[in-house]
Structure 1
Amino acid sequence: MKKSEPTPTLDVDVDAIYKALANPVRREILACLREPKVHFADQELPLEHGVCAGRIDAHCELSQSTVSAHLAALQKAGLVTSKRVGQWVFFKRNEPVIEAFLALVSKQL
């Protein structure tokens, strides 16, 4: 019988995630990114890259610099990833980190 290899664990900074999730705008951004076809259907470029930062700005009805700071906090916590395509930056939820965080919280609380 072959010994199974341990499942790799993600390095999740629980405190950074709690800090990022403490802000309601960041929670709203994450919630909208869960279903980009519903909330960002008007994006011209394919959603496979993620959601363009400009579309997130418009959805939040906040200034570009404010939304940029929120996205940076989410990215620092590992909750979103970004990808530059030309002059645009696209954001997606980082599902493996979110799932690992939820599993840790479920075990701890």
Structure 2
Amino acid sequence: MAETVVSPDSELVGALRALANPMRLQLLSWLRDPERHFPLEGAIADPAEVGVCVSHIQAKVGLAQSTVSAYMAELQRAGLVRATRVGKWTHYKRDEERIARLVATLGQTL
């Protein structure tokens, strides 16, 4: 009897693709505890509530703003972070509920 081929969950595949880049994985890890990992003096929003400004992320990693923005956009498309605009600045925060669902899906899939 032939086994039915089940295609993997597209959300899971997108998340794994986003996390395959070591810097994106590191950024997501740092965002778990933003007060510890980012220089937040001068922050215009609460990092625990709103997230970390992309300029603070850029200051930590030392990459071009466009590169950091591209990395964060990829994490956002994968549903791992949420973006919030505060004035002209974009802040990023982990989507803990979505991450938990993806981890559960991964556990059931593998």
Q: How many residues align?
A: 99
Q: Is the 8 A contact 1:12 1:97 kept in 2?
A: no
Q: Which amino acid counterpart does residue 81 of structure 1 have in structure 2?
A: R
Shift of 1:36: 0.5
Aligned to 2:3: none
Counterpart of 2:20 in structure 1 is 22
Query: Corresponding residue for 2:81?
Result: 80
The CA RMSD over aligned residues, in Å, is: 1.5
Q: How much has 1:49 moved relative to structure 2?
A: 1.4
CA contact (8 A) 1:51 1:92 kept: yes
TM-score for the superposition, normalised by structure 1: 0.85
| Counterpart position of 1:69 | 70
Percent sequence identity is 43
The residue correspondences of 1:1-109 to structure 2 (distance < 5 A) are: 13-45=11-43, 46-47=46-47, 48-109=49-110
Distance 1:99 1:12 in 2: 16
Please report the TM-score for the alignment, with normalisation by the length of structure 2. 0.84
Which region of structure 1 is more displaced relative to structure 2, 88-97 or 12-21?
Answer: 12-21
- Tell me by how many angstroms 1:18 deviates: 0.8
Aligned equivalents of 1:13, 1:43: Cα separation in 2: 35
Deviations 1:42-66 (A, max 9, x none): 3422222110000011111111011
Which residue in the other structure is 1:4 paired with?
none
- Structure 2: 5+ residue stretches without partners: 1-8
Letter in 2 for 1:70: Y
Following TM superposition, the consecutive aligned residue runs of length 4 or more in structure 1 with deviations greater than 2 angstroms are: 41-46
